[in-house]
Structure 1
Amino acid sequence: MPTTTQFVVSGQSKPGVLAEVAAVLGAAGVNIKAFSAPEVTGPGKLRLIVADVDAARIALRKSKIKFREETALILSLENKPGALRQVADSLTRARINVKCGYCTPSREGKRAIVVLTVSNTTKALGVLRTHSLDEF
Structure 2
Amino acid sequence: MVEPYIRGKAIRYLEEGKVVIFAAGTGNPFFTTDTAAALRGVEMNADIMIKATKVDGIYSEDPKKNPKAKRYEVVSFDEAIQKDLKVMDATALTLCRDQQLPIAVFNIFKSGALKNILLGQNEGTLVMPNIH
TM-score, normalised by the number of residues in structure 2: 0.30
Higher strand share: 1
